[in-house]
């Protein structure tokens, strides 16, 4: 059902990256430079990171420092406007296809929370329960239920309820939101949408008419209860880079209907435990660390299933050092170990063979366990009433404070 954007996939691209498929060339690593070139987005270099630090008066998030969020479109415009005193709002989302969330799922939300705190801006979070109902063939009730369950994990990431609106498509589509959907839909021909999403004559019409649903949260007029009178407000979308083709289309359409193009800030893919070439799959619990994993599970998974770049024997390891390019514990630490100095030290020592795989894994287990533990405590504090409050169509008078 999901196809590549280009019609001749294998000849031109060795790697495939689109909202439904991500694979590297010949089982190797994803070439992100090539990706940026091909997609036409921009690299987020150090000058951006410094600028963010200056503008927000706080240390930049670990994902920025480590190049996890590494590409963007028009982020400089957002920062320019911000410097002039013009705020923006954040838009991110999740397709609630399963209850089990793993750390990879949390990454865009962790980063978005940082952005909300650092820039003091509001956030809308879209739960595309309709999309999953259609694509994964779930019942309406089940997809709505999953949306609410996922909302709890999302809330547990620490979003500020006075600045955050979470909505599910089944609940919210209609009114001003729907008007924008129709405006967008009028700008995209059937042929175009087939070209981008690879629909065939056998696909049902629900799928064909879905794309505008994910596009219009980029426009402030879709949320009259929040942004009424602020048609000029810009939107920043933190997402993984596989979403780029999607929002590229939205950016095309925006000026045609009189709106600002949404800006994007894009992240790397989070590798599976078994390595970059492995696929993180909901059916293989050992391919990822889940937010419901116990300390024991985490220890087991990292020790038994993490793909490492260590050498086969201790002697060889002391001599040659570890291959940091493929080592998963190092990659995971790159995402989650806050202390830059400590990470540098570990990389040096491990790469030179002075530190053993077991020690690196042990540190990783500590870091992951703390994150999962913190998440679980926060998650336990989320009640159904809190979800209702986050999802209520209500004004957010303090959203820029």
Partner 1 sequence: MAFSKDQLLDRLKELQIEFSLYEHPVVLTVEAQAKYVGNLGGALSKNLFLKDKKHRYYVVSALADTKVDLKVLSQRLGLGKGGLRMAAEEALVEILKVPLGCVTPFAVVNESARHVSLLLDQGFKTQEYCFFHPLSNDMSISLNAHGLDKFLKSIGRDPSYVDLEANPPVGKDQPPDLAAFVPSDAPILSDLPVKAPTQDSTGKHVSAASNSAAVAAKAVKPSGNAQNVKEKPVNTVQPSIPAADAGNFVEELLDRASALLLSEISEDSIKQHSGQLGAEVANNIKKCLREDLKNLATIFKNTAYTEGFYAGTRYQPKRL
Residues that bind partner 1 (CB under 8 A): 117, 152, 155, 158-162, 294-295, 299, 365-367, 369-370, 373-374, 376-386, 388-389, 392, 394
Shortest distance in whole angstroms from residue 296 CB to partner 1: 9
Shortest distance in whole angstroms from residue 263 CB to partner 1: 25
Of the pair 272, 302, the CB lying nearest partner 1 is at 302
What is the C-alpha separation between 33 and 22, in angstroms, rounded?
Answer: 15
Of the pair 19, 329, the CB lying nearest partner 1 is at 329
What is the C-alpha separation between 85 and 14, in angstroms, rounded?
Answer: 44
Of the pair 140, 381, the CB lying nearest partner 1 is at 381
Of the pair 294, 319, the CB lying nearest partner 1 is at 294
Count of residues making up the chain: 401
What is the C-alpha separation between 357 and 66, in angstroms, rounded?
Answer: 21
**Residue 65, both tokens:** 């420092």
DSSP letter for 24, please.
Answer: -
Of the pair 182, 392, the CB lying nearest partner 1 is at 392
Of the pair 17, 372, the CB lying nearest partner 1 is at 372
Shortest distance in whole angstroms from residue 121 CB to partner 1: 15
Of the pair 279, 394, the CB lying nearest partner 1 is at 394
Shortest distance in whole angstroms from residue 370 CB to partner 1: 5
Shortest distance in whole angstroms from residue 324 CB to partner 1: 22
CA atoms within 13 A on the CB side of 357: 25
Q: Which residue has the tokens 């404070």?
A: 401
What is the C-alpha separation between 263 and 90, in angstroms, rounded?
Answer: 10
Dihedral sign computed on CA atoms, order 223, 224, 227, 233: positive
Using alpha carbons, list the distances in angstroms from residue 32 to 112, 119, 309, 335, 348: 22, 28, 21, 17, 24
**Strands 16-18 and 21-23, sheet pairing:** antiparallel
Q: Angle at Cα 137 formed by Cα 199 and Cα 172, nearest 5°?
A: 90
What lies within 8 Å, CB to CB, of 200 at 6+ separation is 194
Of the pair 164, 214, the CB lying nearest partner 1 is at 164
- Tally Cβ neighbours within 10 Å of residue 178: 15
Shortest distance in whole angstroms from residue 158 CB to partner 1: 5
> Is 390 within 8 Å of 161 (Cβ atoms)?
yes
Shortest distance in whole angstroms from residue 354 CB to partner 1: 22
Shortest distance in whole angstroms from residue 366 CB to partner 1: 5
């Amino acid at each position: 059902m999901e196809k590549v954007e280009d019609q001749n996939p294998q000849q031109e691209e060795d790697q495939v990256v689109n909202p439904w498929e991500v694979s590297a060339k010949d089982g190797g690593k994803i070439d992100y430079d090539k990706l940026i070139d091909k997609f036409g987005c921009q690299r987020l270099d150090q000058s951006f990171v410094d600028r963010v630090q200056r503008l927000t008066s706080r240390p930049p998030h670990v994902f920025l420092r480590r190049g996890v969020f590494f590409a963007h479109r028009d982020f400089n415009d957002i920062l320019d406007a911000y410097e002039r005193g013009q705020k923006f709002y954040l838009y991110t989302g999740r397709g609630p296809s399963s209850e089990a969330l793993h750390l990879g799922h949390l990454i865009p939300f962790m980063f978005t929370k940082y952005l909300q705190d650092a820039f003091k801006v509001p956030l809308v979070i879209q739960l595309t329960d309709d999309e999953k109902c259609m694509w994964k063939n779930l019942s309406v009730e089940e997809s709505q239920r999953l949306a609410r369950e996922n909302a709890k994990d999302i809330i547990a990431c620490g979003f500020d309820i006075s600045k955050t609106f979470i909505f599910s498509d089944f609940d919210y589509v209609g009114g001003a939101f729907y008007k924008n959907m129709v405006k967008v839909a009028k700008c995209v021909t059937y042929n175009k949408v087939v070209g981008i999403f690879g629909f065939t004559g056998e696909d049902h019409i629900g799928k064909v008419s879905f794309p505008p649903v994910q596009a219009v949260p980029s426009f402030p007029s879709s949320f009259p209860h929040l942004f009424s009178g602020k048609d000029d407000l810009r939107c920043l979308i933190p997402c993984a880079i596989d979403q780029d083709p999607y929002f590229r289309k939205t950016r095309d359409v925006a000026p045609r209907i009189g709106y600002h193009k949404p800006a994007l800030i894009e992240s790397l893919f989070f590798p599976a435990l078994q390595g970059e070439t492995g696929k993180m799959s909901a059916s293989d619990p050992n391919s990822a660390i889940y937010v419901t994993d116990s300390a024991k599970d985490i220890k087991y998974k990292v020790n038994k299933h993490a793909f490492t770049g260590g050498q086969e024997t201790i002697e060889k390891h002391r001599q040659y050092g570890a291959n940091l390019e493929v080592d998963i514990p190092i990659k995971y630490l790159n995402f989650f170990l806050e202390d830059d100095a400590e990470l540098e030290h570990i990389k040096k020592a491990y790469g030179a063979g002075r530190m053993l795989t077991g020690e690196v894994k042990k540190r990783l287990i500590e870091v992951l366990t703390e994150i999962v533990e913190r998440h679980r405590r926060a998650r336990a504090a989320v009640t159904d009433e809190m979800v209702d409050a986050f999802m209520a169509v209500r004004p957010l008078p303090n959203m820029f404070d």
